[in-house]
Every structure is written in C-alpha cells, then in structure tokens.
Structure 1
Amino acid sequence: MTAGENSVQSNKSIPDLAPLEAVLFDIDGTLCDSDPLHYTAFCQMFAEIGMEVPDVEFLSKNIAGKHNDDIAAILFPDDIPKGLKFMEDGEAKFRRLASENLPSIKGLYKLTKWIEDRGLKRAAVTNASKQNAQLMISKLGLQDFFDLVIVGSECERPKPYPDPYLKALQLLQVSKDHTFVFEDSLPGIKAGVAAGIPVVGLTTNYPENLLMEANPTFLIKDYEDPKLWDYLEQLDKKREEVVEKQPLEFPNNLGYPNCKREEQEILVLEFENQIQTGRQMQAFVHETKNK
C-alpha cells in the first residue's frame, strides 16, 4: 500500500483550522538547511568506496526524506547489509559536519515565537535517526521548544506513510482538523497529506513542481515568506471570531443560566466584585437563578 492509498487528505485551508491546537515540523530541510551537509557526506562516502556520486536530481527524487533502510535498498539493492553500513557511516560524517555548522531556515525563530506566544502544542516528526534528530534540535537551541520528537524508526512505518504524523497527533492529544505540518520533501509531504493534515511545503532544496506532486496546501520559500504570515494573520482573526461565538462555560453547580455571552460576562464581573465568602456566593447564585 502506498501513502496515497486510504488517504484522508485534508481540504482545509490554514485559516479554517481555527482554533489551532498544534504545529508539527519535519527537521532536515525544514528546521535547518541540512541537505547540503548530507550531500557533502554522501560525496565523501562514495569517494571512499570508489563509486560515482549520484547527481542532485537523483538524490532529490530518490533519497531525500526517506528512511535509511529504504535508502540502503535503493543504493545497494544487491547488498542490503553493505547499504546499511554505508548509511551508518554517512550519518556519522553528517553529524560531524552538523556539529560545526547547522544554519536554521530563515525566519525560523520568528515562527517559533509566534507558536509559543499562542501556547500551541508542537512536535518534530522525522525520518532521521534519533541521534541526528537530537543533534539538530540541540544545535538549533530547540530542546525546550518541542513537546516531543517522533522518529520514523520508532513507528510501524516511516514516511511516506502517515504513521509518524498519526502518532504525533495521538501523543499530543490534538485533532488533525486543528493542526498543520511544515515539510520540505516529497515523502514528508505525502505522509502529512495521507494523515489528513494540511501541509505547508518549503522549497528549501527541491523544485516547486516536484513538491506539488504530493499535494501540499501551499508552498513557501522560508518562514519569512509573506504568504505564510498572511495565512497566520487570517488564522488569528478566524480564531478570535470562533472564540467570540463560543458561549462561556460555567460549572453546573453554580447555577448560571444559559444566556448571551455579554450577559454572562456581566455575571462574571458581578461574581468577582460581590462574592467574598461561600455564604455570599450561595446567596448570589440563588438570586441569579430566580431572576
């Protein structure tokens, strides 16, 4: 079964997600511009074993965003153990390179502040190894930002299957109808779409026409893209409208009547100003119920 089968692709736009509950991020190429480092590590590894280095287009279409087991099978279909060892050594080279320099995607910290200011839940969801994921998040200073980190190897199936994103929704206890994803690769976008979550794709390293094949909600260049902030502004406005229409909730034992929001707000003020003791509270509630 492919990721597209049994897909529950969301047709929601970002503003329609209000009130937003959570934001999910891929890591490689989404939080940081790590793909050039992966390519450098690949080049060094291929040179060491005397193999021709695949071109960037091949890597983009066949390697980027995939789980290491799948990459090993693509590069060494006749010798999987050799492929797995190759990937393990390549990951070690990548970590050395990333430890020296790991640039964040432009505008990342502006976006993380927006998310923190609104108290949203957040998770990193990646096909990278756990070691790589932890290193990149640490180098970016985001250890305290994420509520949890989901890696593909800890799921039944990695991306492009929806399992990692479905696991994130389950653990965060949020709805796909009030969550969206940031992704930069074809497998990653397919995974989010198959999980029924709107996906914002980043054209960090891959052409728009390639990413559009996976049906993202829309594409952005980076986190300073005006298109993204226009949608987030609409989302804030939509949230205010949704909240304004929701009735205030009161404990049943207080006996507040069902009434318009404006009347409820007046009752709250009266309660705060007049009720000082348990006896006074009971008297006030009794009067309110009998009006």
Structure 2
Amino acid sequence: MKMEAAIFDLDGTLLDSMPIWQGLGENYLLQKKLQPTPGLQDALKTMSLPQAAQHFQSAYGLRETEATILTEIETLLADLYRYEVPLKAGVAEYLQTLQEQNVKMCIATATERDLAESALERLGIREYFSTILTSSEIKTGKDNPRIYQRAFEQLGAPITKTVVFEDALHAIETATAAGFRVVGVYDESAAQDRERIEVLTEQYIYSFSDWKG
C-alpha cells in the first residue's frame, strides 16, 4: 500500500486500551452513587470525553461543571495511561518502517492530550508523530470528519496517498464518507462489527505484526 501520510487513531488501534474505556462510564457513575442505565456503554462509544460529560449532566442530572467532570474522569484514567496501557503487537516496528519510508504520521484521537502524550512517551513512540489532534481540541467527536480533515491539512500529502488507521466502526464510517482511504485494525471491542468494517475499508488487519502492507 503506497502512502505518503498516515493518520492513526490511538485507543484500540495503536494502544491495547479499550478494556479500560469499556467500563469507564459505569465506574464513574457508580462512584457518584448513580445507577448506570442499560446501553450506557453503547451510547458513550461514539462520544468524546466532553460529549460524555455533557451526557452525564443531561441524562443523570450531575450538577458538576463539564470541566469538573472531565477532571474527575481523567483522574481515573491518568495512572493507567502513565504506567500500564500497552502497545498492540507490532506497532513499534511498523511505525519505524513507515519512518524509514519517509511517511508523515500524526495521531487523531478522542483521548485527552495529556493522557495520549504520557502513554506515547512512556512507550517510546511519540517521536514518530508530527502532531497529536484530539477531539476536545477540535471540538467534535469522530462522528464528524473534522479531525481527519485537520490532520490531512497538517500532513500535506495528497488524499489519495493519505491513509487513516482506525478500529471503531463509527469512526471508519466517518472517515470513508469523507473520502479517506482507511485500514481497519482489529480490536476485540469492535469484533461484532468486523464484517461491516471489512466492507468499508481498503484493508483489514488483525495485527501490525502480521501485516506487510
């Protein structure tokens, strides 16, 4: 696959971090002594953290400000990103290969910047990325193509030679609808969407270790 630029999602694509996120909303609400409603995980799946904070305010009547909710959620996450979250198999080697091929790379993530930076620095891969774009800074989740368009503008390669790497169906739908080439990356959290992802993406990989693209 010939490319000049690559836009990487973080969680579930480069980092094996989705198990943390799957229980995050419920754990946060239970700490507040609130009972999560059925389907909460599915509802939060497409949201950025600011969107999730707004959902907790409207759906659960939290009186805390959005900023306070975000701080409390980030406190739950911070140590995990700083000390524990691992890379997925083959990621470091693949990024090194792309760097040797002079492919320009950036991160487009729904995760907050400080969490992303701490994990990338600890895992020794921050140097590969010219920039990190976050949903909260772009002010939209991945149900909107703005984060991919901003990344594309910053990388400066033709769209026909720019590839987005994503694991989540809603993000893949957004990127493909916006005209991007997309590689689907398997993650257990999106296993139920595998067939649909395979239809939408240019390639679908189970591991960077096994992929020669």
TM-score by length of 1: 0.64
Secondary structure at the aligned position of 1:159 is classed as: coil
Looking at CA atoms only, which structure, 1 or 2, has the larger radius of gyration? 1
Indicate if the aligned counterparts of 2:81 and 2:115 stay in contact, CA closer than 8 A. no
Quick check: 1:174 aligned with 2:157?
yes
Q: Which amino acid aligns with 1:46?
A: L
Residue correspondence of structure 1 range 119-158 to structure 2 within 5 A? 119-155=102-138, 157-158=140-141
The alpha-carbon distance between structure 1 residues 181 and 223, as it changes in their structure 2 partners (threshold 3 A), is same
User: Which of 197, 201, 204 pairs up with 1:216?
Assistant: 201
Tell me, yes or no, if the aligned pair for 1:160 and 1:191 is still in contact at 8 Å. Answer: yes
Percent identity, please.
21
Q: In structure 2, do the counterparts of structure 1 residues 51 and 81 end up closer, same or farther at CA, with 3 Å as the change threshold?
A: closer
Deviations 1:126-147 (A, max 9, x none): 1211222212222221221101
Please give the alpha-carbon distance, in whole angstroms, between the structure 2 residues aligned to 1:207 and 1:51. 27
Cα deviation for residue 217 of structure 1 reads: 2.8
1:80–1:49 distance in 2 versus 1, CA, 3 Å: closer
- Contact 1:161/1:194 (CA < 8 Å) preserved in 2? no
Deviation at 1:27, TM superposition (A): 0.9
The partner residue of 2:5 within 15, 22, 25 is 22
Secondary structure at 1:136's aligned position in 2?
Answer: helix
1:64 counterpart = 2:45: yes
Question: What SS is found at the alignment partner of 2:107?
Answer: strand
Q: Aligned in 2, Cα 1:210/1:82: closer, same or farther, shift over 3 Å?
A: farther
1:81: Cα distance to partner?
Answer: 5.3
CA distances 1:154-187 after superposition (whole Å, capped 9, x unpaired):
2253312111111111111111100111112233
Within 5 A, what are the aligned runs for 1:170-249?
Answer: 170-210=153-193, 212-213=195-196, 215-225=200-210, 228-229=211-212, 232=213
1:22 touches 1:120 (CA, 8 Å); kept in 2? yes
Count, aligned residues: 209
Q: Which letter maps to 2:44?
A: I
Q: TM-score, normalised by structure 2?
A: 0.84
In structure 2, the CA distance between the partners of 1:159 and 1:21, relative to structure 1 (3 Å rule), is same
Cα displacement string for residues 59-90 of structure 1 (whole angstroms, at most 9, x for unaligned residues)? 2x322352123223444424375483434312
CA deviations 1:170-229 (Å, max 9, x no partner) are: 11111110011111223321332133112112221324442554623333222123xx32
Per the alignment, do residues 210 and 116 of structure 1 end up closer, same or farther by CA in structure 2, a change over 3 Å counting? same
Residue in 2 that maps onto 1:11 = none
Distance across 2 between alignment mates of 1:75 and 1:156: 18
Cα–Cα, structure 1 residues 201 and 82, in superposed 2: closer, same or farther, change >3 Å?
farther
